[in-house]
Amino acid sequence: MNLIYKNEKTLFALAAVLSALFWIVLTLSTFGVIWVFLLFGYLFFLFFFDASLFLCFRSQT
C-alpha cells in the first residue's frame, strides 16, 4: 500500500488512540449525558433536513 507520508500509519494510530481517550473521558465526566445530547442533536438535524427538502421540492412543483 502506497502512503503519502512515511509516518502516516503511526500518526493514524496516535490520532485514533487520542480520540478514543477523549471520548472515554467525555463520556465518564458527563456520566453519559453527552450521548443523549448527541442523539437529540441528530434527531433535530434529521427532522430539519427532511422538512427543508420537503419544502424545497414542494415549492418547485
Which grid cell is 44? 433535530
Q: End-to-end CA distance of the chain, in Å?
A: 50
Residue 12, pLDDT score: 95
SS (H, E, C) 19-38: HHHHHHHHHHHCCCHHHHHH
Residue 43, pLDDT score: 95
Q: Grade residue 59 by pLDDT with cuts at 50, 70 and 90.
A: confident
Kindly report the pTM of this predicted structure: 0.62
State yes or no: pLDDT of 4 exceeds 90: no
State yes or no: pLDDT of 2 exceeds 80: no
- Residues 21, 28 contacting (CB under 8 angstroms): no
> What number is the average pLDDT over the span 8-32?
95
- Residues 30, 24 contacting (CB under 8 angstroms): no
